[in-house]
Chains A and B, each alone.
Chain A
Amino acid sequence: MPAIEVSALEREFPGGIRAVDGVDLEVADGEIYAFLGPNGAGKTTTVRMLTTLLRPTGGHARVAGHDVVDDAADVRRAIGVALQEAALDPLMTGRELIRLQATLHGLIGGEAERRGDALIRRVGLERAADRRVGTYSGGMRRRLDLASALVHEPKVLFLDEPTTGLDPVSRKAIWEEVAALNREGTTVFLTTQYLEEADQLADRVGIISGGKIVGEGTPASLKAEVGKPHLEIGLAEGSAELAEGICCDFGRILPEKDGRLLVELEHGASDVAKVVRSLDEGGILVESLELVEPTLDDVFVDKTGEHLEGADTAEPAEA
């Protein structure tokens, strides 16, 4: 039985705004599935429906075998949820929050204490556990949020943008913890706008744009669909149009990125020298040149015609 089954899921808000528009997906038991998309793509709305916080206006969804509308209480028993922006009470201590979360899931007395203390140790917050959450750093808040989502040992864990706004070290710590949880058997559904996060963590990636899934597969298979490397060319001011005219002989011109001209090389890396030569012969001053192998950002561009916001902050070049 899949951990998550979604069929034609829709959510329309007053005013006719369709945030989620017919999403179909399936997440296998024990899988990490990343929902990748920019702000406003429909990621959070989908998660809110799957976690029973929002009723769908169309379609069906089952989580851990339970319908999110008809068996909402069963879904809530089976899932752990860490929401965007780590919705924590700044006046509570970390330990108080974990204990409250344990109470919410029916754990009492010594069992709740043991479980809570173990999770606090697991996420490395022992020394800060009795401090108010308001004094925590962003990374500590996310780790506490993650720990509180695990207090009842959920079968399926939903993480809504778990590392947004975190520094690289804190981000890596969250990734390691998520990967460890998955190795222990927890199914993970995470939303992200970071390509590297999807690439590093996910078994499969769903790309969402405008409320629809526009691509889905393993990171490797998605990149293979795009297939071709591209050149990122930094040009002197005023020469972009002329350069585009020259480069279009070597392949498709992609949407520009940070003022750089992007050209997909139809015949692969072997065309790099020819491009440079042609630009030089055309009298165009090239300030920088980088060969980039396909990334999830390329997949995103291929599927949506746009770059993912912040894509350049996360995706390493591949050999």
Chain B
Amino acid sequence: MNALAVNARVVAALGARSVKQTFRRPQLVAPIVIFPTLLLAVQTGGAGRAVDLPGFPEVDNFLSFMLAGAMLQSCLLAGNTGGIALAVDLEIGFTDRLLAAPISRFSIVLGRLVGTAALGALTALWFIAIGLIFGASFELGVPGVLLMIVLTSLAAVAFGGLSAAIALYTGQASIVQGLFPLIFVILFLSSAFFPINLLLEPAASVAEYNPLSFIVEGIREPVIGSLSAETVAEAFGAIALLMAISTGLSAIALRRRLRVG
């Protein structure tokens, strides 16, 4: 078997391990699924009349608007928990087991990210199911839903790469876990939970250039039915930018770790 095939199998095996690991550790599942679901329930229940505000986008209900925010929050946290799990592997020495094997070093990180991508897709399905049950209308049908799943999954990989870089650099799960509050700050400074035109300054300006705003609009528009090619391109562009940054940082952190030992 050639090296590429071996590494592809390794990436798939490590990705599968990553998903199993998440579902076997409740403290990893909770932030990905339970917290965003609860926040979605609280926000849609408590602030549902926000749709009546002048300037609020045309939507069937507040849930249709909020669903994308919950999906983005969930995939951000999926990326973060992937980083935490990688740091735990470093702490317990499991990564040494992988490094002592005749595989590409980067496939160790890639395997983790493939698992994060799968978790992103699973959380997308979860929130789509919640949307269907509680009355969100997916205006663009199956193609729109597929686009939402792809964007959520890729966004999880991009955020997972950033967490992986921090995990590789520090080797400490507690530091990666410490990113949680920062994630919420970045999320609230985007259009994830409120339209940009209704935010106050300077939050509105930050949100306008926040890559998360581009991604969340790409996920949202298939629900509310106003999808444009420009929005899709911007969402994929923002993800590509984050992926390029996170992949680069992960590669640098991995190289440093291998050099330092």
A interface residues with partner B (beta carbon < 8 Å):
14, 48, 51-55, 73-74, 76-77, 79, 81, 83-85, 87-89, 91-92, 96, 99-101, 103-106, 108, 132, 148
Q: Which residues in B have their C-beta under 8 angstroms from that of A79?
A: 100
Do the beta carbons of A100 and B13 come within 8 Å of each other? yes
In the complex, which of the residues A48, A76, A106 contacts B261, with contact meaning CB atoms closer than 8 Å? Answer: A48
Do the beta carbons of B9 and A89 come within 8 Å of each other? no
Interface size on B, residues (CB 8 A): 27
In the complex, which of the residues B94, B259, B261 contacts A87, with contact meaning CB atoms closer than 8 Å? Answer: B94
The interface centre, meaning the residue of B1, B99, B258 with most chain A CB atoms within 10 A of its CB, is B99
Q: How far is the CB of A77 from chain B (nearest CB, A)?
A: 5
Known contacts A53-B99, A83-B100, then 12 further A-B pairs from the complex at CB < 8 Å, ordered by chain A residue = A52-B100, A55-B261, A85-B93, A87-B92, A92-B20, A92-B21, A100-B13, A100-B14, A101-B101, A103-B13, A104-B97, A104-B98
Taking CB as reference atom, which chain B residue is nearest A82? B97
Do the beta carbons of B102 and A103 come within 8 Å of each other? no
Q: Which residues in B have their C-beta under 8 angstroms from that of A88?
A: 92, 94
Q: Which residues in B have their C-beta under 8 angstroms from that of A85?
A: 93
Do the beta carbons of B102 and A77 come within 8 Å of each other? yes
Q: Which residues in A have their C-beta under 8 angstroms from that of B29?
A: none
What are the interface flags for B78-106 relative to A under an 8 Å C-beta threshold, 1 for contact and 0 otherwise?
00000000000100111011111111000
Q: Which residues in A have their C-beta under 8 angstroms from that of B14?
A: 100
Would you call the interface of chain B mostly helix, strand, loop, or mixed?
A: helix
Q: How far is the CB of A6 from chain B (nearest CB, A)?
A: 17
Q: How far is the CB of B242 from chain A (nearest CB, A)?
A: 29
- Cα(A54)–Cα(B260), bound, Å: 7
Give 9 nearest A-B pairs by CB, closest first: A87-B93, A104-B101, A54-B261, A76-B102, A81-B100, A103-B13, A91-B24, A77-B102, A106-B6
Q: How far is the CB of B69 from chain A (nearest CB, A)?
A: 31
Q: Is B17 an interface residue (CB 8 A)?
A: yes
Do the beta carbons of A92 and B17 come within 8 Å of each other? yes
What are the interface flags for B1-34 relative to A under an 8 Å C-beta threshold, 1 for contact and 0 otherwise?
1000010011001100100110011000000000
- Cα(A96)–Cα(B20), bound, Å: 11
Do the beta carbons of B9 and A108 come within 8 Å of each other? yes
The interface centre, meaning the residue of B6, B96, B258 with most chain A CB atoms within 10 A of its CB, is B96
In the complex, which of the residues B1, B21, B100, B259 contacts A89, with contact meaning CB atoms closer than 8 Å? Answer: B21
Taking CB as reference atom, which chain B residue is nearest A74? B102
Q: How far is the CB of A319 from chain B (nearest CB, A)?
A: 41
Q: Which residues in A have their C-beta under 8 angstroms from that of B102?
A: 73-74, 76-77, 104-106
Q: Which residues in B have their C-beta under 8 angstroms from that of A104?
A: 10, 13, 97-98, 101-103
- Cα(A53)–Cα(B102), bound, Å: 12
In the complex, which of the residues B10, B21, B96 contacts A53, with contact meaning CB atoms closer than 8 Å? Answer: B96
Q: How far is the CB of A280 from chain B (nearest CB, A)?
A: 55
Q: Which residues in B have their C-beta under 8 angstroms from that of A52?
A: 99-100
- Can you list 10 A-B contacts with CB-CB less than 8 angstroms, sorted by A residue number? A55-B258, A73-B102, A83-B97, A87-B92, A89-B17, A89-B21, A101-B101, A104-B10, A104-B101, A104-B102
Q: A91-B21, A103-B13 are in contact. Are A83 and B261 (CB under 8 A)?
A: no
Q: How far is the CB of A20 from chain B (nearest CB, A)?
A: 12
The interface centre, meaning the residue of B17, B93, B100, B260 with most chain A CB atoms within 10 A of its CB, is B100
Do the beta carbons of B17 and A100 come within 8 Å of each other? yes
Q: How far is the CB of A163 from chain B (nearest CB, A)?
A: 17
Taking CB as reference atom, which chain B residue is nearest A49? B261
Q: Which residues in A have their C-beta under 8 angstroms from that of B97?
A: 81, 83, 87, 101, 104, 148
Q: Which residues in B have their C-beta under 8 angstroms from that of A87?
A: 92-94, 96-97
Q: Which residues in B have their C-beta under 8 angstroms from that of A99?
A: 13
What are the interface flags for B35-79 relative to A under an 8 Å C-beta threshold, 1 for contact and 0 otherwise?
000000000000000000000000000000000000000000000
Q: Which residues in A have their C-beta under 8 angstroms from that of B258?
A: 55
- Cα(A88)–Cα(B93), bound, Å: 8
Taking CB as reference atom, which chain B residue is nearest A103? B13
Do the beta carbons of B92 and A89 come within 8 Å of each other? yes
- Cα(A89)–Cα(B10), bound, Å: 16
In the complex, which of the residues A84, A91, A96, A101 contacts B25, with contact meaning CB atoms closer than 8 Å? Answer: A91
Q: Which residues in B have their C-beta under 8 angstroms from that of A105?
A: 101-102
- Cα(A54)–Cα(B258), bound, Å: 7
Q: A89-B21, A89-B92, A106-B1 are in contact. Are A53 and B261 (CB under 8 A)?
A: yes
Q: Which residues in B have their C-beta under 8 angstroms from that of A101?
A: 97, 101
- Cα(A148)–Cα(B97), bound, Å: 10
Q: Which parts of B123-181 form the interface with A (CB within 8 Å)?
A: none
Q: Which residues in A have their C-beta under 8 angstroms from that of B13?
A: 99-100, 103-104
- Cα(A108)–Cα(B101), bound, Å: 15
Taking CB as reference atom, which chain A residue is nearest B260? A14
Q: How far is the CB of B150 from chain A (nearest CB, A)?
A: 27
- Cα(A79)–Cα(B98), bound, Å: 13
Q: How far is the CB of B143 from chain A (nearest CB, A)?
A: 36
Q: Which residues in B have their C-beta under 8 angstroms from that of A83?
A: 93, 96-97, 100
Do the beta carbons of B96 and A103 come within 8 Å of each other? no
- Cα(A239)–Cα(B102), bound, Å: 61
